[in-house]
Amino acid sequence: MLLSVEAVSKSFGSLKAVKSVSLDVPEGEALGIIGPNGAGKSTLFNLITGVQSADAGRVKLDGRDITRDSPQTRCRAGIGRSFQIPQPFENLTVFENLLVAATAARRKSEREAADGAAAVLERAGLIGLANRRAGSLTLLQRKQLELARALATEPRILLLDEIAGGLTEAECNALVATIKDIRAAGTTIVWIEHIVHALIAVVSRLVVLDFGEVIAVGEPRAIMDSPKVREIYMGIEV
């Protein structure tokens, strides 16, 4: 199993954000995670990537316990992540943002990092903007850069946090095509998203979180047809 999350929990004072969540992600899978706002989705990503430490439970990568590893160590081991709100180095160019990601995560020289940066920019649809300052990008371009920076770390598993949010239908479709290509090239994907039709176009399995707990796991369309999921996630009384 590439990624195993075993009964992880996280509380903030009296708020239990994640409650004994377990999930397994085999290599090559695209797994979707849905749930209402405040369900604990981004906190779960923070626990997987080491941005926050778990109160209980374990996280394993390829069978190795990484629960106490730093975010940098987890990134170098193969966990890449995009953030819900893009966080580029705004005063650097698009190309320089990728160099920072590659040199920091993979410990490559600048020359070695540059060799792969152009290919990553091509995959993310940013090759024509390589010399553009990141702070001048549109929302779609910032999301593409967020994806490209994650890819520059050469992840084995890529965690995407609501990367389609705020995009037009055409922009969303273009992003879905890019993510499909990334999966086809062999990268395992775990994707949190509120735009369900985009998610279902890519993933083969859905996990539903509510109040920090897993309430359903299964085939995407069967999950979305579940009366319980429709009532909790969509607010549809069934």
Q: What is the pLDDT of residues 53-111, one digit of tens each?
A: 999 999 999 999 999 999 999 999 999 999 988 989 999 999 999 999 888 877 777 77
pLDDT the model gives residue 238: 38
- Cα 125 to Cα 3, 116, 128, 143: the distances in Å are 28, 15, 8, 11
pLDDT the model gives residue 171: 87
Place of tokens 């996990």: 207
Confidence of residue 28 (pLDDT cuts 50, 70, 90): very high
Confidence of residue 234 (pLDDT cuts 50, 70, 90): low
d(CA 122, CA 4): 31
Confidence of residue 116 (pLDDT cuts 50, 70, 90): confident
Is 131 a residue whose pLDDT tops 70? yes
d(CA 3, CA 87): 25
Burial 12-41 (b: 16+ CB within 10 A, else e): eeeebbbbebebebeeebbbbbbbeeebbb
CATH architecture of 3-78+155-233: 3-Layer(aba) Sandwich (3.40)
Mean pLDDT of 118-147: 91
Is 237 a residue whose pLDDT tops 60? no
Mean per-residue pLDDT of the chain: 91
pLDDT the model gives residue 191: 98
- Reduce the DSSP state of residue 168 to 3 states and report it: coil
User: In the chain, what are the helix, strand and coil shares in percent, each to the nearest 5?
Assistant: 40, 25, 35
d(CA 166, CA 91): 23
Mean pLDDT of 137-166: 92
Listed by start position, the domains of the chain span: 3-78+155-233
